[in-house]
Amino acid sequence: MIAETENASPDVLADVRAALLRDVGLLLTYLDDPDAEVRHSAAGLLGHLPPETADRVLPALWARREAEDEPVVVAALLAAAGRLAPDACADRLADELAPDRPHPVRAGALWAASAAGLPWTDASAATLADCWTDGDPLPDWIWSATPFEDIVLRLDTPSFAACCRTMLDQGTDEAARAAVNALRERCGRSRSARAELAPLLARCVDHRDPRVRREAAETVREVREAAPLAADALAARAARTALRSRDLPRGPVSGDTDDLLLFRTALAVLIELDDERWREPLVRALDAGRDVNRALHLVVDRDVPCDDVLLGAVRRRLAAWWSKEGGHADTPFPDMLRDNDAHALTRIIHHWGPDAAAAVPELLPLVPVDRWWTVRALGRIGPAASAAVPVLERVRDADGPWERRLLCAEAVAAITGDGGQLADRVAAAASGGDPVRAARTALRHGLPLDGLLPALRAAAAAPPPESAPEADVDRRRIDAARLLLERGETGIAVRAAADALDAGMYTVNALELAGLAGRAAASLEPRVRALLDPVHRMTAAHALFRITGESGPLVAALRDELRQGGFGRWLAEPLRDLGPAAAELLPELRELLYGDAPVGLSGFGWRRAAEDEHDLARLVGELTASPSK
C-alpha cells in the first residue's frame, strides 16, 4: 500500500494521506464487514493513518476488538492501535499478553508493543516463548511477514540471544529457522553482536533441522568470530557428505539439498580458515561430479599451492566430462552448471601456472571454444605447454572474434617467446574492426600504439551525418576516446562524451569520460549539471567536480550516500578526489567508523557481515590516506 511505504515521493504520500483523511469515516465501516479478510485489511490501512486521526479511529478499533472473533484480525487491530497511539495503548497491549489469550492475539500485542518501543518485560519474554516455540502464530499477517525477527531484533544482545536460544532448544523446526534467520540478520546489522553471538551460531551447525544447519553454516562463514568455533563440526559434516557422494556417477550433479549446500559452505569455511580438512572432501566431491565451484575459486583466492592430489582431481574432472561429450569441440559444457565448472577448473589451472603443466592434455580440446581461462592458462604455463601451440595458432588465424584470436596470440607469445606474431595480430585486429581490444592488448605487452592511433581515432569519431542520432554513440566509441584521452587527445574525447550525453546512451560512461577530460570539458558543464538527478547524481557530481572544481554537489551526493547506503568501494575514488573538501563529511565518516551499524548499510547480501569487514578496512585506509582526516 502507498499509505505504508516510505519509498514514494513526498508529494505522492501527501496526496494519498490527504485522500485517506477525507475518507476516514468510510474506512471505519470496513471494520464491520462480514468478510474477515476485509476486516484484516482495514485494520492494516487504518493503522497507517496519521496520528491526528487517533481520536476518531481508536474508539472504533477497540470496539471492533471486543466484537472480533478472528484472532489474526484482533492481532491486526492491536497493531493498528499501537501504531496510532502507543503511549495511550500501552496498558491495553500489556493486558493482551495474558496467557489466556489466543497465541495470535498475544503475538500481535507483543509485536505492537515492541514496534512502539514499549518496555520489554518478563511477560514479554514469556509471550514470545509461548507463542513462537510451536511455529509462527501470525502467518500471512498484514502487518509483517517476519514478526519474530521484528520483535527480537529490537532487543539488547543478551536478551536477543536468550530468545533465540529458547527457540533453538525448545521450538519446532519452523521456530528454529526463524531464530537462525534472526541471528543472521542481527550479525549483519550490528558489528558488536557478532562476537557475542558466535558460540550460539556455531552450535546451530549441528541442529537437527537441515535448513537450520545450512543457514547457520552460511552465517558462520559471514561471521569470522564464529568460524573457528564451528570448524570441527563443519569438517565432520563435510567428510560424511563427501563419503556418501563418492559412488555417484561422473558428470555434473547439482542436487541442491540443504545438506549439499551446507557441504559447499563447510568447504568454504575450512578453506578460509586454512584448515587442511577441506582437501579430501573436495577431491572426493570433484570425482563425484559435485558442484564445488565456490571451493575451487576460494582455492585460487587463498593462493593455495598446487599439489599432485588436487591437480589430479581437477584433471580427472575435466577429462571425464570431456569424454562424456564424445570429444566434440563444438559442444562442451552445454548447460550453466557445466559452464561454471569449466570456468572454475580452468581458472585454478591458470592460477597454478607452470606447476599445473600436467593438465595441458585436458585443456587442449577446450581451446577452440574457450570462453573461460583455458587459453590464458596455457599461456601462464609457458614453454611446458608447447603441445598447445598448433591448436592455438589455428584458432589465432581462423575467422572469429578478435578477443579469442588475440588471446591465442598472447598465449603463443608466452609459450614460444615469439612477440612478432603478437604484434602482427594486434595490427590486424586494429585494421580489422577491433582497435580498442588491439590497443588494450598492446598496452598489456608494452607494444607501441603509434600504428594503432588512426584506427582508434576513426573509432572515436562520429559517423557520417546521415546516420540516425542514436547510431552516433556506441560503447566502442567511448572506449576508443578514453584510450586517446590517456595519450592527451582531449578534443576527440570531449566530442564523444558530448554526443553520448546528447543521445542519452552510455550516460554513466560518458560522464566518467567527461570528468577524466577535466577542465578541457568545460563546454559540457551544462549537460553534466543537468544530470544531477537521482539516477546519475553521484557520477555527474564527480564529473562536475573534475571539470569545474565545484565541490558542493559532490559533497552533498556523498553525504546522502553515506547516510543512506554507507561506505562502499564505489565511493572511494570521489572521496579521495575531494581532498581537503572531504572534511565536511567527517561526521558521517566517523559515525560509520566508530558506530555499531555495518559500514555498508546497503546490499544486504549473503556475505553482508564478511563484506562489512572489508568495507571497514577500506574506509580506514581512505581516512588514513586523506589529508582531511
Per-residue pLDDT tens over the stretch 396-409: 999 999 999 999 99
Average per-residue pLDDT for the chain: 89
How far separated are the first and last CA of the chain, in Å rounded?
Answer: 44
Grid-cell match 519452523, residue found: 174
pLDDT band at 616 (very low <50, low <70, confident <90, very high): confident
CA-to-CA separations, 264 to 257, 329, 484, 609, in angstroms, rounded: 11, 30, 46, 19
Q: For the whole model, what pTM was predicted?
A: 0.86
| Cβ atoms of residues 258 and 214 within 8 Å | yes
Report the C-alpha dihedral over residues 528, 532, 537, 538, rounded to 10 degrees: 50
pLDDT band at 613 (very low <50, low <70, confident <90, very high): confident
Q: Report the distance separating Cα 571 and Cα 622, nearest Å.
A: 10
Share of the chain above pLDDT 90, in %: 73
| Cβ atoms of residues 94 and 125 within 8 Å | no
Worst-scoring range by mean pLDDT, 477-481, 491-495, 550-554, 594-598? 594-598
E strands in 455-569:
none
pLDDT value of residue 290: 86
548-572 average pLDDT score: 91
pLDDT value of residue 445: 96
161-182 average pLDDT score: 96
182-186 average pLDDT score: 94
| Cβ atoms of residues 43 and 77 within 8 Å | yes
Task: Check residues 116 and 619 and name the one with the higher pLDDT.
Answer: 116
Q: Is the pLDDT of residue 247 over 50?
A: no
Nearest CA to 131 out of 161, 102, 159 is that of: 102
Worst-scoring range by mean pLDDT, 12-16, 220-224, 561-565? 12-16
247-269 average pLDDT score: 73
Q: Which residues pair with 566 in a beta bridge?
A: 600
Put residue 190 in one of left, alpha, beta given phi > 0 → left and psi -120 to 50 → alpha. Answer: beta
CA-to-CA separations, 251 to 46, 291, 328, 360, 429, in angstroms, rounded: 57, 10, 16, 21, 38
Q: Which residues pair with 290 in a beta bridge?
A: 253
Q: What is the 3-state secondary structure (H, E, C) of 58-80?
A: HHHHHHHHHHCCCHHHHHHHHHH
Q: Report the distance separating Cα 114 and Cα 257, nearest Å.
A: 36
pLDDT value of residue 368: 92
Grid-cell match 577452440, residue found: 368
pLDDT band at 602 (very low <50, low <70, confident <90, very high): low
pLDDT in tens, 332-370: 555 777 788 899 999 999 999 999 999 999 999 999 988
